[in-house]
Structure 1
């Protein structure tokens, strides 16, 4: 069983997948930083100073023991207040769209660089179904 596991791990596909997951996770962090640190501040300036990361809707009441700011999303979340954090959701959607677009561009470029697979030779054309049925009919008539 150990030998089978070694054979499985040594296959190129498994190693390629592992490398892809690791690189993908690192790339995801880069895209998150791009969105959070570069794009969202610019979008905030264009929309009149809106900071999307702190946009939320309270669904419940703030506990009496809470001493922080009632507009601090992170502190309210830590305190367990029920909220809809639509700003975080917008940021996550933008992260996804950027990541998906970059992956699309990478795959498109990789497809251009990959050699084209040779086309399979066309199958020799034989008689059509109608011709075969006609031959069978004629053979049955002769019998």
Structure 2
């Protein structure tokens, strides 16, 4: 029973729950970014580059032609699907940039303003007496 209680204490800790929430939100956010890239950015990029569809760019690794759609070409044999890789790489870059901006904003919010300079500590009485002796010896 000791191990079960130890596991329960571990699972209920705030860090584990925060991590679970972060993973769930991250997965949902990843779907949003994926949709943005596939449905908004890649069609515009394809149109600018002459109506090309990046998702269907591939090099067949057998003797088939490149006239087939990517899904059909995969069924026919091995393919080097670099168009899909470009799309996924773009997803990653956008997601990494957004996360970087979020961390940057959080770090700026966490920065505390420098505390006002504290008043100097009162000078000890011995130092005051030594200064008075020094000044009298100079005279």
TM range (shorter): 0.7 to 0.9
The CA deviation string for residues 5-45 of structure 1, in whole angstroms up to 9 with x for no partner, is: 11101111111111111111111111110000000000001
Q: 1:4 aligns with which of 3, 6, 17?
A: 6
CA distance in 1, matches of 2:77, 2:11: 46
Q: Is 1:20 the counterpart of 2:22 in the alignment?
A: yes
Compute the TM-score of the two structures, normalised by the length of structure 2.
Answer: 0.74
The structure with the larger Rg is: 2
In structure 2, what is the equivalent of residue 109 of structure 1?
105
Report if the CA contact (8 A) 2:60-2:73 is conserved: no
Query: Which of the pair is proportionally richer in helix?
Result: 2
Q: 1:75 aligns with which of 72, 75, 83?
A: 72
User: Do the aligned partners of residues 117 and 80 (structure 1) sit closer, same or farther apart at CA in structure 2, a change above 3 Å counting?
Assistant: farther
Cα displacement (A) at 1:70: 3.9
Q: Is 1:30 the counterpart of 2:27 in the alignment?
A: no
Compute the TM-score of the two structures, normalised by the length of structure 1.
Answer: 0.72
Q: 1:96 aligns with which of 92, 96, 99?
A: 92
Q: Secondary structure at the match of 1:6?
A: helix
Mark the runs of 5 or more structure 2 residues left unpaired by the alignment. 116-139
In structure 2, what is the equivalent of residue 85 of structure 1?
81
Higher RCO (C-alpha under 8 Å, 6+ residues apart)? 1
CA distance in 2, matches of 1:2, 1:117: 45
Q: Secondary structure at the match of 1:16?
A: helix
CA distance in 2, matches of 1:56, 1:97: 21
CA distance in 2, matches of 1:86, 1:29: 21
In structure 2, what is the equivalent of residue 124 of structure 1?
none
Cα displacement (A) at 1:115: 4.7
